[in-house]
Chain A
Amino acid sequence: MAKRIDISGLSAYYGNHKAIDDISMTVEPRSVTAFIGPSGCGKSTFLRTLNRMHEVTPGGRVEGKVLLDDENLYAKDVDPVAVRRTVGMVFQRPNPFPTMSIFDNVAAGLRLNGSYKKSRLTEVVEKSLRGANLWNEVKDRLNKPGSGLSGGQQQRLCIARAIAVEPQVLLMDEPCSALDPISTLAIEDLIGELKERFTIVIVTHNMQQAARVSDRTAFFNLAAIGQPGKLIEIDDTERIFSNPSVQATEDYISGRFG
């Protein structure tokens, strides 16, 4: 199921503004890779280049290569829609579809990609909700609107929605930044379980979170406001937090941010 991602020489632009510059790294399958760094360093932009969501933004443009196993996502004949089916995404703020019930939300990815039989949908919905540790909380109200859930439940609903289409990779853009500590803990536990099945990349502002959930950590920084963000280093999480090889990383981690 899970695939390895090889990124080489990747730059992303908003119109004429370069947001990230020449990034190369490898993301291992069945592991959690965390992106940390100050605001505006381009880590979210970078994440969005991994499933071609960056180009949805007006003026969004990408140079470089992203290899999923051996296939370049930015090759000419690749369909961005197919890419997004393979590389799922969870957003900063929980965003269930307000017109749909809990069931329909989870089934949305399958249904919107074509028709599926009711029995198969039911099966996938249950499996995905169980996978997102939400089944027990919502199994009695699958037909209620998804917007009636708490913030943490909504975010897990969004995770269930993302994994229902069985992607290879799961991208998470600060998935806990809008949640309270208890909901955050539930999501972090969930991430630990999900990495058995998926390649997970998570952007986070919370360094303790990165330390808790990730296997590898990448640190991004920018020279000054208006300059493109750069990858400073990527290493095993333990090493990054105990003995990073670059001074800037140590400054950031030992600063008063975490």
Chain B
Amino acid sequence: MLLRLAGHLSLAIAFLSCVFPLLAEENTPPKISPKHATEMKAGLDLFRSSVGQTLASSCLKCHGGESVKADFDLSTRDKLLASGYVEQGDAANSYLMALLRHDEEPHMPLRAEKLSDEKIAAIAQWIDLGAPYDKPLVDAAKPTAADQDKASDFWSLQPLATIAPSAVTSDWVKSPIDRFVWKKLNEQGITPNPTADRRTLIRRAYFDLLGLPPTPEEVAAFVADQDPEAYGQLIDRLLDSPHYGERWARHWMDVARFAESFGYEQDTDRPHAYHYRDFLIQALNDDLPYDQFVAWQLAGDEIAPQNPLAQMATGFLGAGAFPTQLTEAEFEQARYDELDDVVATTGTAFLGLTIGCARCHDHKFDPITSADYYRMASTFTTTTRSLAELDVPTDAAAKPVTVQVNTEGGKKIPHLADSRGFPHFYTTTHFLTRGDVAQKGEVAEFGFPAVLRDGHPRDYWKAQEVPSESALSYRRTALANWMTDTEAGAGGLLARVIVNRLWHHHFGRGIVATPSDFGVQGDPPSHPALLEWLAVDLIHNGWRLKRMHKQIMTSQTYMQSAAANGEQLAADPQNVLLWRHAPRRLEAEGVRDAMLSVSGQLDRTMFGPGTLDEGMNRRSVYFFIKRSRLIPTMMLFDWPEHLVSIGSRSETTTAPQALSMMNSPHTRSYAESFAAASPSGSVEARITAAYQKAVQRDPTEQELKTAAAFVAAQAERDGSGGEQGALVDLCQALFGLNEFIYID
């Protein structure tokens, strides 16, 4: 290393290090002892003779072997030192020693006998000697044959098992789902909640299925309905509502990283991309079987070329970002990046498999090889974003409109680099070393991951009826066949992932809490048998999602109240075992759509081009998603950036969100409309009506008193608006109620 230092400066540094010896020391790399080599050798001997074995037998299983708890991984020396638990050469200051000596909690090894004093002393001595390894305890980079066998034993990669719900006798149990849930709760001695009251149920169902609140009239009618079937009928009604598709399409748009612009330099618009969003809405409303829903998104142009909806579905493949400005040197890398986006999104969206991780090397945790990755990428080699003229069923006018599709041999979308010979695609896809186009290997033939094809060759899934002359290669059809094949292909995993996504949105947490990662790094299922049962049930009933919604929503597990008592919280604080229906915060769309709906301003026009105008009154799913100009209010409430597949949005609570409720001209205008629509009558009657609209209940006596006092005082204070002005302020405050956006 070369460091040019001016003479004066070294003096200054010498001076500084006298004044701040501590800081100087902390900022320098670990000192290397002059006896380094001897010490390391002694340490190695110690590791070989005893310490290595102690770590392997007492610690490795949870810390680098089968899992990595608490970010402490001792499978290799680098990981051990990087963990922060061990200070190289300094056992006294190593946190690990405090845990092993039981000076600090959690005492280690966890729930096992304390290590003998000799063993602890040996580990301490070994750390003092620099903690050397002769070889890693687990070779993560190159799994041994035994490991690979083990990895393919991994639960999510197994064929679906038919599991009958256990026979339980309890009044609480209403449906097969409840049998699975009750069994686990009962084992832990946790008492689940009773059914929620009717107002809570209808509110929950409306927001879950439509993303909109019920009207006071709908609530009153449901509460008054004595029919025991009333709740089931309500679910049917909501599933029939066209708003259902709008609500659930939005969930899928997150997963599909859907946006309507290229991103990068110019972020050029994709004005014909919205048809993909309209496909989602229509397909969900039509209850298109999920296997078909998936197949069309991968290969609708091949499978059902005459059906405009199937063509629109292929928008999935081309929804990712792509550079608008390219130099010649970047053409090929950009294409491989694009294929990567398609493979990675396809893997996570449908299969919860992080195939994208295998671009540069075999997957570090899951049994996906780099070869698997390039074979899948090869499926899309000649597929590009294209424009087609279609009679679109979701557009008002029946004449053909331009639709952005993805196909082979289609009409390409112009690119700025076309004049310099940008080819859009290459005829072959190669295996690359470390994902680098400068390091090409053989041509990669398309194919499917070895762990999910039950020993069958690729052609087992090839398209059956292929026209003799076609620009289409039907590789994507084969991919779709494989993906939806529940016997020999990935269909079992496909079913598990989608029922879990539904569960995630109904309960706020999936049975697998990482809905886009069903791999080794993801969370294991909290109720594995239930997940199997749901997946099998979905397949046996024709992959119908609406039926699955009802199946879930008519369970006692879903219908129970949100209450929580100390015993339940102490036993299962995160509600993993589902002893209650935990309250949920509305997403960005839900917050805005609810305000529009309550204020009477909601424009229910469906489909068609979106807009960037925040002042529009249509549902939020109709915002135009431009990557460089994401809608500010949506972003405040954790809207995704629409660049990568998102299975679970983050949920933050911030002051800028509150500012938008307090000061945004849009919120204020909703409040004004809300107040303007308020019936004439006494202040108390008007407040009661506002409460009914906003939170679908009457105010309590105390709330009514507080609110009425506020209106009177506010009318005095901000005089010019009088009572009406004060009512606007009140209506705006109702939007700010936690009850408005947290749904029990």
Partners in one complex: no
